[in-house]
Amino acid sequence: DTEVTQTPKHLVMGMTNKKSLKCEQHMGHRAMYWYKQKAKKPPELMFVYSYEKLSINESVPSRFSPECPNSSLLNLHLHALQPEDSALYLCASSQGEQGLGSYNEQFFGPGTRLTVL
Amino acid sequence: DQQVKQNSPSLSVQEGRISILNCDYTNSMFDYFLWYKKYPAEGPTFLISISSIKDKNEDGRFTVFLNKSAKHLSLHIVPSQPGDSAVYFCAATNYGQNFVFGPGTRLSVLP
């Protein structure tokens, strides 16, 4: 299984809602990532989990809360979002966060298209 | 300040010809470079990568060249096919930290 899956594919939420994005991989990868991508822009790194521990938080507002329950799962909990948070949220995984060569090759899921009203 | 730059927002190439996509970076600590291809409404797909200790890596129709002194890399696709039409992102990382994508180049391969 060489796939990263993300659910849901689309999500519409109000500014007072609480929702969660889910990501799953079964490749034995030990690093997982959340990215945010706005239209016609490159993906921007939000969080990195390495061996189920948060290792990088790129100054993301606290209304985004990541969680890594185990090595295969990554969640992104959303609360009190703003309309400008509407974007494609991409999950990725790689063999390891740190190291040479193929450890850095990230495999991406299809993304969750989030709209905040 | 953009650490990874792709100065051509778009590129059109005739089918069968070579496509050359360019990427420049500013951070000399980057040690690994990757190219991703992205179709609309899909996540990026890994294409090919190169370590900073090499100057060339080839995989089928795709070849990546790295010029460390110029902080420049390029992706060559030959022969180009209509299915190659997509947005191509260059990305760079320093031992898995500081993973940065360029703004992307939209490649159109014309039949």
Confidence (pLDDT) at A94: 87
Cβ within 8 Å of residue A39, ≥6 positions away: A87
pLDDT truncated to tens, each residue of chain B (111 aa)? Answer: 679 999 999 999 999 999 999 999 999 989 899 999 998 878 899 899 999 999 999 999 999 999 999 999 999 999 999 999 999 999 998 876 677 899 999 999 999
Q: Which residues pair with A48 in a beta bridge?
A: A33, A56
DSSP one-letter string for chain B: --SEE---SEEEEETTS-EEEEEEE--TT--EEEEEEE-TTS--EEEEEEETT-SEEEETTEEEEEETTTTEEEEEESS--GGG-EEEEEEEEETTEEEEE---EEEEEE-
Confidence (pLDDT) at B38: 92
Q: Using 70 as the pLDDT threshold, list the residues of chain A that sit under it.
A: 1-2, 97-104
B95 vs A41, A99, A110: nearest CB:
A99
Q: Which residues pair with A109 in a beta bridge?
A: none
Confidence (pLDDT) at A2: 64
Confidence (pLDDT) at A95: 84
| Phi, psi for residue A102 in degrees, rounded to 5 | -65, -10
Q: Which residue of B has its CA nearest to A101?
A: B51
State whether the Cα torsion B27-B29-B35-B38 is positive or negative: negative
| Cα–chain center distance at A19 | 14
β-bridge pairing B105-110 and B10-14: parallel
Cβ within 8 Å of residue A9, ≥6 positions away: A110, A111, A112, A113
Q: Which residues pair with A31 in a beta bridge?
A: A50, A94
Confidence (pLDDT) at A7: 96
B99 vs A41, A45, A96: nearest CB:
A45
Q: B31 to chain A: which residues are within 8 Å by CB?
A: 100
Confidence (pLDDT) at A50: 85
Distance CA B82, CA A14 (A): 40
Confidence (pLDDT) at B94: 81
B102 vs A42, A99, A108: nearest CB:
A42
Distance CA A116, CA A82 (A): 6
Inform me whether the C-beta atom of residue A86 falls under 8 Å from chain B C-beta atoms. Answer: no
Confidence (pLDDT) at A39: 85
